Amino acid sequence: MSKQNLKVIKLDKVGVRYRIPSERISSFKEYSIRWIQRKVTHRDFWALQDVNLSVNRGETLGLIGHNGAGKSTMLKLIARVFRPTAGRVVVAGKVAPLLEFGAGFHPELTGRENIYLNGALMGFSRQEMEEKFKGIVDFAELWDFIDVPLRTYSSGMGARLGFAVATDVEPDILLIDEVLSVGDESFQRKSSARMQEFRDQGATTMLVSHNMDIVIKMCDRTAWLDHGQIKAVGKTSEVVQAYLQSQIE
């Protein structure tokens, strides 16, 4: 078996269903009355349906598609935030999700404290985070603001801190949702460089983006999601081409 074919993520006939109540029932009383009347109705919405996908070790896989196509749901599934309603997901290795900035951040805590809190969220001990601390702040270039509350940060500063923390924990799998579009020009260059570094070290990346230039530049393969199903998966240039073509029509 060649190195390229070693799979680290495998989705096997995966479905994720959200149950959307036809009308919002938010109180127990209402729920009880409707339950007695047999009027608790849900509209099922399959955010992902019958998805088969595998990601090889060391590759960067792009995910493209319209809003609501299921891209973010897929990342959240791999990050274990959601559970599959059907099928099976197998993930090997440490996952660093970079789904939204400020996921585990608290505005009243300082940058320093938030770094440690995020480390704990990813299951790192304090000693491990102490070793990583300097590198994280260096990368985020936030030494001047490290001891002030996060609420005083600009969104770009928050983004830098989030990216620095998530990528400094040496994940085997990095999940990135639209985050390369935040931050200024120089930070974008820096984060692209770090992702390249990652790839060289053999880490696997899944990247959701609406920016086709980034997808073409970063991704070895790309999957096109449409209404919760995979419409095409393969070489980035071909999939992107087909996707853009469909938008013109």
Binding site for another protein (CB under 8 A): 6-8, 10, 18-19, 26-29, 31, 57, 76-77, 79-95, 97, 99-100, 102-104, 106, 108-109, 113, 116-117, 120-126, 172
Number of CB atoms found within 10 A of residue 1's CB: 5
| Nearest to another protein of 77, 180 (CB atom) | 77
| Nearest to another protein of 109, 212 (CB atom) | 109
Cβ atoms of 7 and 54 within 8 Å: the answer is yes
In whole angstroms, give the CA distance from residue 89 to residue 147.
40
CA 24 to chain CA mean position, Å: 28
* Residues with Cβ within 8 Å of residue 65, at least 6 apart in sequence: 71, 224, 225, 226, 231, 243
In whole angstroms, give the CA distance from residue 158 to residue 139.
13
Q: Rounded to the nearest whole angstrom, what is the least distance from the CB of residue 82 to another protein in the complex?
A: 6
In whole angstroms, give the CA distance from residue 94 to residue 123.
10
| Nearest to another protein of 115, 219 (CB atom) | 115
| Nearest to another protein of 42, 210 (CB atom) | 42
The H or E element spanning position 170 is none
Q: Rounded to the nearest whole angstrom, what is the least distance from the CB of residue 183 to another protein in the complex?
A: 19
Q: Rounded to the nearest whole angstrom, what is the least distance from the CB of residue 73 to another protein in the complex?
A: 10
Q: Rounded to the nearest whole angstrom, what is the least distance from the CB of residue 123 to another protein in the complex?
A: 6
